[in-house]
Amino acid sequence: MPLTPSPNLLTPSPTLRSPRLRPTRLGLTFLALTVATLIGCINYGLSLGYGLTFLLGGVWIVTAAQANRAARTLSASVLPPTQATAGQDARFTVQVSQTGPAGNVRLEAQASQLGRSQIGHSQSISSMAFLGAGQTMSLPLTVAAPLRGRLELGEVRLIAVDGLGLWHAAYALQGTSEVWVAPKPEADAPAPPTLHAAGGSDTGRRAAGHDEFAGVRAYAAGDAPRLISWKHAARTGDLMTREFDAPAGEALNLTWAATASAGQTEARLSRLAAWVAQASEHGLPFAFELQGTVLPPAHSENQRQAALNALAQFTPLPEAQPQGAAKPTPRPLPLAPLRFSLLALAFSMLPALAHFPVWISGMVAALLGYAALQADPQRKLAPISPLVLLLLAVASGAGLIAQYGTLLGQEAGTALLAVLLALKASETRTVRDAKLLSLLGLFMTSTHYFASQGPLTALHSVAATWLLLAALAGWVNGRGGTQTGRELLRPISRVMLLAAPLALLLFAFFPRPDGPLWQLPLQGGNQTGLADEISAGEFGNLAQSRAVAFRADFGGGKVPPPAERYWRGPLYEAYDGRKWTQVRARFAAPTVETLQDAPLYRYALTLEPSGKPWLLALDTPTQLPQNAVLTGGFQAATFRPASLRTRYEFQSQAARLGREESVERLNFDLLLPEGQSPRARALAEGWRTLAPAQRVQAALDYLAQGGFSYTLSPPTLSEENRVDDFLFRSKQGFCEHYSSAFAFLMRAAGLPARIVGGYQGGEVNPDGGYLIVRQQDAHAWDEVWLEGRGWVRVDPTAVVAPARISTNLGTALTQPNATAPKALSNVERLRLRLDTFQNAWNNWVVSYNGDQQRTLLSRLGVGGVGSVPYLLGLAGVVALLLLPMLALVRRAARPRDPALAALHDLSERLGLPRSAGETATAYADRAAREYPQQAALLHEIAALFNTLRYGPPAQSAATLQHLRDKLRQVRQK
């Protein structure tokens, strides 16, 4: 009997009701990038980098939910081709239906064709498409059919891919779909023999034909519509087909014996296939006989199909030769998404270009610009030669080593990364390379935090991430780059919004280590402030800058008055006649006696990066932050200088310093260079007969009454005898001039003296209740050692310009004796309000570290990081944050139509997906076979669905409520 192929419907296998969720190769690369970024943020303490990393981690999780959701709302059926011919492609059709939201769908299948040797010709095939919400689409799976025989489409996997291509969730569809492949028709085949050709029409025998009406018969599938007796059908309601006959000589007689002259088996079968094609083409009836298949003369589609089936199944089947897998043809690179990727990449690199050397920024801009011009279809620019790209990379590396001395530092490494990224963009030729550009752009975005972690940098990071992820999505979906920017950006916005709560949670509770994992050379582009030595003009240069040095937040407590706002920094004790420098000698530790009646100040210092070890605390710190020490010069210092904005917690209280001091240090602080400034030396030696305190007062009186003035632009002092030149000629100077001259006079008068560098004052922000200390507040004052009192602070600048201590620098320069600062203008008030936001940002985002995390956990009663309550609480909060996301996923997956939504809910309760195009009745029948104990209820639900969809509208509300009531009675899987 001839074997007529019928379509095999493939539905999700009952053993795979839940999709298998796996990351793609792109997803694994994305995860590796996220982990690498996190490690860098941990090492360098990039708090804002934590936020970006956790946002990407949230995207990773949300896209997994997207892929899983999309897979659960898919159904499919597979249809084989009606016929297939050897040497041509067989086109299987997969009808895919998406009842949930729009998404990417990929089909994968294994096709095989077995021959007599049982060594099959096998191949992998796939098809990618973008399926809209509620849409049904027919996707082709084109399979090469080189041999005659059975062509089987093996396991078909229906794969849902998230919008970024990071995850895929796959269903394996049960059953197989196959088609019998007919022989390839012989080219230029001879004319086929006719039935009873010898007798011709004279024999009186007739055969099926188209000459004379011979009667009617019951309709058979494949009969031509023109042969149907429509009058009979209208009268009786039954379809009947009219039959005609002709002399027997007009019917073709196609038999195996008639092909003897063709040669080998396959050639003879090809000739028979050619004759069948000729008969079908000319509308001639034919008789057919082959290997047990005997067909009487007829002309119909069924006749043709039965003959081709017999030819396809003729045994033995041809030998199948093993063949290697064909190399996939590379997809052409669409230019529209490439231009969008280059735009996103350029935007992500903008902040870094402002900090790079000009030649690096110019090279990067030129390479990206040339790549953008190459992506313009109107300009046919030649690609840059690989040799030229290699030379540019080598030259860039050599130039960076010459400029920075290394390629491992922050600035040098970031600049090299930017160059390599631009080179990669200029030679992008494949979709894989284009995807890699987005991932590298995300990594490049995280490097901007070395230079700044301000709010604008955060906004840029979010915008750059938005664009780069949208560019990545443009390469993932199956629409060939036809999407507009809005179509790309809108779904990414949703993903990032869903990822934000998880990112905030991880930002607050992810463990923060107290130190770096490793050390690399640091190059602080923004490092400015106090130097390691003092010379004329040093502090005057800082006074020109309004940049913030640090902010001191007293937490709502008492702020020290202006006269007590001395922020102690480096100590300068060695003097060579021109400059004062720090001393590295080891002296015995002096005593520190806290004055119990003095006010106690608790404050948080947010220090801008300086690359220096000093921490600039109020005199005198009694409680230091972790990893900080108090030196023999009463200076707070850290072992790990911060290259980024850092927050430190302090407690300070006035104290008597060094009442017991080492003799070696006191003697060192009496040293003066021989022969320097003899007039000043003689002046001070005249005070040696006075008591120590009176010598100090004598020097201050000399400065107060000697006609000295306070200025940022004093005349240049001579190289020799600089103190004499200042005290007796110029009499104009800034704080370092007065502190240097005063220390010289005290040493010449026999009192140990030294200079303390730091900052004095600070602007109170009335909105935030904290102090802003700027670089222009840099100051130098003196300490003089007095018997029984220890080191006593003396500020000679205060006697010349009292306003420098009681007000601020600007007031002191114009009104040296003022007692109150000038009133704030509207612009200055606005600036302070903006600084309030900046300070809050610094405290809660940039400076959020392990100490603050431990404080937060302590206030919540959780305990330390890693404790059982901490782990349980973290798991609980994660679950709470994921629940709304899961609710949104479920809500988005349900159809909006109430009836379809009810049917969707039924499939969810049963755990049995509905196939594409499957009616409610057919689904109920299939579900009843799976759950026979609920068969009656399932058929009742299907009937209610049909009534709701196709019944009178007046009954819709009641029917819908009845349907929902019945649905609640279904027992879940």
DSSP secondary structure string, 58-79? HHHHHHHHHHHHHHHTEEEEEE
Among 957, 824, 128, smallest CA distance to 478 is for 128
Does the pLDDT of residue 891 top 80, yes or no? no
Dump pLDDT digits (tens) for 440-491.
999 999 999 988 888 999 999 999 999 999 999 888 765 545 566 677 888 8
- Predicted confidence at residue 385, as pLDDT, reads 86
Dump pLDDT digits (tens) for 572-607.
999 999 899 999 888 898 999 999 889 999 999 988
**Which residue among the candidates 168, 299, 779, 904 is catalytic per the annotation?**
779
pTM of the model: 0.71
- Predicted confidence at residue 207, as pLDDT, reads 53
Q: Return the structure tokens found at 542.
A: 């800082």
d(CA 366, CA 360) in angstroms, rounded, equals: 10
How big is the chain by its Cα radius of gyration, in Å?
A: 44
Dump pLDDT digits (tens) for 418-449.
999 999 998 888 888 889 999 999 999 999 99
Q: Which range among 75-84, 224-233, 423-432, 809-818 has the greatest average pLDDT?
A: 423-432
**Which residue among the candidates 460, 619, 735, 904 is catalytic per the annotation?**
735
Confidence at 780, pLDDT banded by 50, 70, 90? very high
d(CA 528, CA 164) in angstroms, rounded, equals: 43
- The gap between the terminal CA atoms of the chain, to the nearest Å, is 44
- In Å, the largest CA–CA distance within the chain is 160
795 is catalytic: yes
Mean pLDDT in residue range 828-832: 86
Confidence at 538, pLDDT banded by 50, 70, 90? low
Dump pLDDT digits (tens) for 208-227.
555 556 667 777 766 667 67
Confidence at 516, pLDDT banded by 50, 70, 90? low
d(CA 137, CA 918) in angstroms, rounded, equals: 14
- Predicted confidence at residue 2, as pLDDT, reads 37
- Predicted confidence at residue 16, as pLDDT, reads 40
Instruction: Pick the more confident residue, 119 or 50.
Output: 50
DSSP β-bridge partners for residue 482: none
Element (H, E) at 170: strand 167-173
Confidence at 523, pLDDT banded by 50, 70, 90? very low
Instruction: Pick the more confident residue, 943 or 330.
Output: 943
- Predicted confidence at residue 311, as pLDDT, reads 92
DSSP secondary structure string, 10-58? --B-GGG-S-EEEE-HHHHHHHHHHHHHHHHHHHHT-HHHHHHHHHHHH
Percent of the residues in the chain that have a pLDDT greater than 70, as a whole number:
83
Does the pLDDT of residue 203 top 50, yes or no? no
Determine the residue type at 667: N
Please give the mean pLDDT across all residues of the chain: 81
Dump pLDDT digits (tens) for 614-645.
899 998 899 998 889 999 999 999 877 776 77
- Predicted confidence at residue 291, as pLDDT, reads 84
355 is catalytic: no
Does the pLDDT of residue 324 top 60, yes or no? no
Among 86-100, 179-193, 303-317, 612-626, the minimum mean pLDDT is found in 86-100
735 is catalytic: yes
Does the pLDDT of residue 9 top 60, yes or no? no
Does the pLDDT of residue 903 top 90, yes or no? no
Buried b (16+ CB within 10 A) or exposed e, 238-266: eebbebbbbbbbbbbbbbeebbeebeebb
d(CA 696, CA 575) in angstroms, rounded, equals: 20
- Predicted confidence at residue 440, as pLDDT, reads 93
DSSP designation for 796: T
- Predicted confidence at residue 722, as pLDDT, reads 92
d(CA 755, CA 736) in angstroms, rounded, equals: 9
Dump pLDDT digits (tens) for 842-852.
888 887 877 77
**Which residue among the candidates 553, 782, 795, 835 is catalytic per the annotation?**
795
Strands 88-98 and 20-23, bridge-based pairing: unpaired
- Predicted confidence at residue 349, as pLDDT, reads 93
